[in-house]
A = this chain, B = another copy of it.
Amino acid sequence: MQNQRVVLASRPQGAVVPSNFRLESAETPALNDGDILVRNHYLSLDPYMRGRMEDAKSYAAPQAIGDPMIGGTVGEVLESRAEGFAAGDLVVGGGGWQTHSVSPALAWMKLKPGLPLSIFLGAAGMPGITGWYGVNHICKPQPGETLVVNSATGAVGSVVGQLAKLAGARVVGVAGGATKCAIVKDEFGFDECVDYKDPDFKAKFKAAVPKGIDCVFENVGGVLFDESLKRMNAGGRIAVCGLISGYNGENIAIEQVRSILVNKLLVQGFIVSDHMKLWPQAIKELAGLVATGKIKYRETVAEGIAAAPEAFIGLLKGANVGKQLVKLI
């Protein structure tokens, strides 16, 4: 079977550029016992991939030069040498930036048919589970409390805000531009959205949290993190999920450290892959909320594996709205 794949050609010097990637074609390898061959339908593009392109110490090993870029995919089993998997099964797993994946079935999870496959890469997939974990296990918003989430139209942020709304919190999103903010309020139902590109951002952000902030789901870092720290209430919780503003090596120092002490804050960094035991429960809950329309989602879909690098570069700049996918079939 002919596989089209995108490999890491070189590590970025600052911003990611197209030449950091290379499109290749290769025959799929033979299956070993326990392997399945998956025809990937959708590839998920996520900010964490930027970290893997680096050599630096992070929570995961760096991506090797010349290997296919790692990434979550959903698809259909074409061939199985693994018990419990058969051709035609729908699966989600780490297929990578490629059209066909051969890998141990252990790395895949079977999906029940009936819902759009792509949601298992978004609202009911890794990003949604990330939001679910941060909201339910770190932020724990109470009715009447205020939760702030940035990257609010993103696959993680949109789920965070909607879960917090379901918990009875007042939810304020931060997003880039009036179009995104309109989606955050009108589609996702947040109480407020503040445009971080607005020259009056700081004043508008302050006005959007008149009772202070009890929970922050932090995806961005830097100035946005500091503005939230300034406005925290005593006993506040901050789930640190990402620092996308520093992914190209920019300074993400924070000035408002005193708030951690004075307001007795809990600041917790986390990565959802440390909590795999909770995934089945989270997927079930999130898929149910998506199926009943209680969680809404947006997708931005690039067409074809060759489009993945540009789509990823766009994601890092905030060009997408909602979950960034690549359609592979």
With A253-B254, A255-B253 as given contacts, are A262 and B58 in contact (CB-CB < 8 Å)?
yes
A252 interface hit (Cβ, 8 Å): yes
Does the CB pair B262–A251 fall under 8 Å?
A: no
Contacts of A59 in B (CB 8 A): 234, 261-264
Cα distance A1–B306 when bound, in Å?
Answer: 89
SS class, residues of chain A in contact with chain B? loop
Number of copies of this protein chain within its complex = 2
A256-276 interface code vs B (CB 8 A; 1 in, 0 out): 011011111111111100100
Tell me which residues from 224 to 279 in chain A have a Cβ below 8 Å from any Cβ of chain B: 225, 234, 240-243, 246, 251-255, 257-258, 260-271, 274
Contact: A269 with B274, CB < 8 Å?
Answer: no
Chain B residues near A243 (CB-CB < 8 A): 257-258, 261
The answer on a CB contact under 8 Å between A257 and B258 is no
A263 to B57, CA, bound (A): 10
Interface: A221 (CB within 8 A): yes
**Given known contacts A253-B253, A253-B254, A255-B253, A240 and B269 CB-to-CB distance under 8 angstroms:** no
Contact A260 B264 (CB under 8 A): no
Return the contact of A266 from the options B246, B258, B264, B266 (Cβ within 8 A): B266
- Closest chain B residue, CB of each to CB of A51: B262
A246 and B262 CA atoms in complex are apart in Å by: 12
Q: Is the CB of B253 within 8 A of A257?
A: yes
Cβ of A234 to closest chain B Cβ, rounded Å: 7
Minimum distance in angstroms from A310 CB to a CB of chain B: 27
Q: Known interface pairs A253-B255, A266-B266, A267-B268. Does A240 touch B261 (Cβ–Cβ under 8 Å)?
A: yes
Give bound CA distance, A174 to B231, whole Å: 32
**Chain B residues near A253 (CB-CB < 8 A):** 253-255, 257
Min CB distance, A167 to chain B, in Å? 22
Complex Cα distance, B257 from A62, in Å, reads 20
Contact of A254 among B240, B246, B254, B263 (CB under 8 A): B254
Q: Are B257 and A264 in contact (CB under 8 A)?
A: no
Interface residues of A (CB under 8 A from B): 57-59, 221, 225, 234, 240-243, 246, 251-255, 257-258, 260-271, 274
Mind listing 15 A-B residue pairs with CB under 8 Å?
A57-B262, A58-B262, A59-B234, A225-B257, A242-B261, A243-B257, A252-B257, A252-B258, A253-B254, A253-B255, A253-B257, A254-B254, A260-B267, A264-B274, A265-B267
A240-B261, A265-B269 known; 8 new pairs, CB 8 Å cut-off, are A57-B262, A225-B257, A240-B260, A242-B261, A260-B269, A264-B270, A264-B274, A267-B267
